[in-house]
């Protein structure tokens, strides 16, 4: 079971990262799938994509065990946001092969994302960065990745469609470290919500999460 991290963030929140080394069949033996979950996996033809989805659910299953609950699977709402079956806790999942990640919070909505810094992020930066963010990134692919992944995590925390990465989600300029917390915010229906965005390097990938 390749859990490489299962950490307590605070008394209400935990996160997990899984390195995928198993076959699809091995992951299926480890996980409890709901009917919707099984249907989702059956609808994916690419084995790598199947592994990513299954490993992200393995992360959630381990987090649920960590807080002393029984895992019954997840379902997704109309916005594709995952929810635990029969447990009123908040969750978020992400994957970028060979890693899958998940976060659980007992009281608050959460968002998590994992990405690998790649040159493509520079080519599309104008689509998701405002002028201040663009200037701060200076084309650094790791900073661009944190901006992108951070906005993905905040988007997932909000849990509804309609947030525009460039106009509605803002991340304050930051100095690049292996891990840190960045001031950020999003605006929806005229209301601005301030967020503490955590990021952390995991080998050649970057994870961002918030609640």
Q: What is the pLDDT of residues 64-74, one digit of tens each?
A: 999 999 999 99
Number of domains in the chain: 2
Q: What three-state secondary structure class fits 156?
A: helix
Predicted confidence (pLDDT) per residue in 141-170, tens digit: 999 999 999 999 999 999 988 899 999 999
Query: Residue 115 contacts by C-beta under 8 Å, 6 or more apart in sequence?
Result: 96, 145, 148, 149, 152, 205, 206
Same-domain pairing of 8 and 96: yes
Domain boundary among 107, 133, 166: 107
Same-domain pairing of 136 and 72: no
CATH number at residue 38: 3.90.470.20
Same-domain pairing of 139 and 203: yes
CA distance 139 to 41: 37
CA 76, distance to chain mean position in Å, is 15
CA distance 21 to 27: 9
Same-domain pairing of 69 and 148: no
Same-domain pairing of 198 and 123: yes
Predicted confidence (pLDDT) per residue in 10-41, tens digit: 999 999 999 999 999 999 999 999 888 899 99
Single pTM value for the model: 0.96
Give, in order, the Cα–Cα distances in Å from 107 to each of 60, 88, 93, 112, 150: 16, 8, 17, 16, 21
CA distance 112 to 210: 7
Query: What is the per-residue pLDDT for 69?
Result: 97
Same-domain pairing of 90 and 149: no
Domain boundary among 63, 81, 107: 107
Same-domain pairing of 99 and 128: no
Same-domain pairing of 8 and 102: yes
Domain of residue 132, residue span = 114-210
Same-domain pairing of 128 and 162: yes
Same-domain pairing of 176 and 81: no
Token pair 């009281």 is found at: 107
CA distance 165 to 180: 21
CA distance 30 to 28: 5
Domain boundary among 107, 128, 153: 107
Same-domain pairing of 103 and 135: no
């Amino acid at each position: 079971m390749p859990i490489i991290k299962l950490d307590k963030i605070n008394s209400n929140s935990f996160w997990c990262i899984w390195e995928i080394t198993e076959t699809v069949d091995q992951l299926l033996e480890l996980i409890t799938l709901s009917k919707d979950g099984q249907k989702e996996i059956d609808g994916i033809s690419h084995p790598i994509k199947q592994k990513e989805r299954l490993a992200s659910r393995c992360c959630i299953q381990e987090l649920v065990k960590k807080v002393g609950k029984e895992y019954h699977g997840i379902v997704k709402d109309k916005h594709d946001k995952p929810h635990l079956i029969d447990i009123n806790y908040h969750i978020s999942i992400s994957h970028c092969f060979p890693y899958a990640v998940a976060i659980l919070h007992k009281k608050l909505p959460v968002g998590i994302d994992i990405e690998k810094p790649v040159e493509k992020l520079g080519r599309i930066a104008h689509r998701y960065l405002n002028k201040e963010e663009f200037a701060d990134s200076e084309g650094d692919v790791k900073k661009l990745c944190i901006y992108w992944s951070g906005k993905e995590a905040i988007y997932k925390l909000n849990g509804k469609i309609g947030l525009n990465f460039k106009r509605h989600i803002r991340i304050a300029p930051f100095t690049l470290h292996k891990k840190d917390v960045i001031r950020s915010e999003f605006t929806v229906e005229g209301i601005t919500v301030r967020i503490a965005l955590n990021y952390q390097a995991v080998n050649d990938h970057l994870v961002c999460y918030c609640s």
